[in-house]
Amino acid sequence: MIGTKHILFGAGAVAALFGASYLLKLNRLSNELESVTKISIHKVSLDGIDLRIDVTLKNPSGGSVKVKHPFVKMIYGGVTVASSQIRDVNITIPKYSEVNLEPVMINIGFMNLATTVPGLFKEYRNTGKLSITVKTITTINDSLPYTKTDNISLGGGKEA
């Protein structure tokens, strides 16, 4: 006769297999999920620069994915220049499709730029463009963190 120890051991082994399978699928999904981040200068005013951030999430896998609204932060020279608001919103990306999120607007004040990253102004004066690192951070299926880092240039540069 099979004892309760054997039943519990068997149930634990089956649960471990299903758990491992689920974690492998999430890890694969994390590697396959793609985010495309585009930043443009929306408006320049006396208050500072308004940046428009467009994020597209792509799901090339055969299952739908639920992700949190991405948190976006801009980094220059290792210093965070600006970041988006954190929103507790779930976004479902159907299988083999992509979702364009509503644009995120961020205002960066000139005084903040001048005191935090003075090299940014110098780079812009010398080259006519800004090179910024952008990190997109989200969570897949409420359990797996996802981060993507992009190097983006703003501005067209100086004419030759």
Residue 136 pLDDT exceeds 60: yes
Query: Whole-angstrom Cα distance, residue 93 to residue 65?
Result: 5
What is the model's pLDDT at position 105?
86
For the chain, what are the domain ranges?
Answer: 1-32, 34-154
Q: Are 156 and 129 within 8 A, CB to CB?
A: yes
The whole-angstrom separation of Cα 160 and Cα 150 is 27
Question: Are 61 and 31 contacting, i.e. CB atoms less than 8 angstroms apart?
Answer: no
| Residue 86 · residue 71 · CB < 8 Å | yes
Alpha carbon distance 152, 131 (integer Å): 6
Closest CA to 148 of 139, 160, 157: 139
| Three-state secondary structure string covering 26-70 | HHHHHHHCEEEEEEEEEEEECCEEEEEEEEEEEECCCCCEEEECC
Of 136 and 22, the one with more pLDDT:
136
pLDDT of 31 > 70? The answer is: no
Listed residue (98, 124, 116) closest to 41, CA to CA: 124
Residue 71: is its pLDDT beyond 60?
A: yes
Question: What is the torsion angle, in degrees rounded to the nearest 10, for the CA atoms of residue 6, residue 12, residue 18 and residue 24?
Answer: -130
Non-local (6+) Cβ contacts of 43 within 8 A are: 49, 50
Which of 23-27, 64-68, 148-152 shows the lowest mean pLDDT across its residues? 23-27
The answer to whether domain 34-154 has CATH 2.60.40.10 is yes
Tell me the pLDDT tens digit for each residue of 79-117.
888 888 888 989 998 989 999 988 888 888 878 777 777
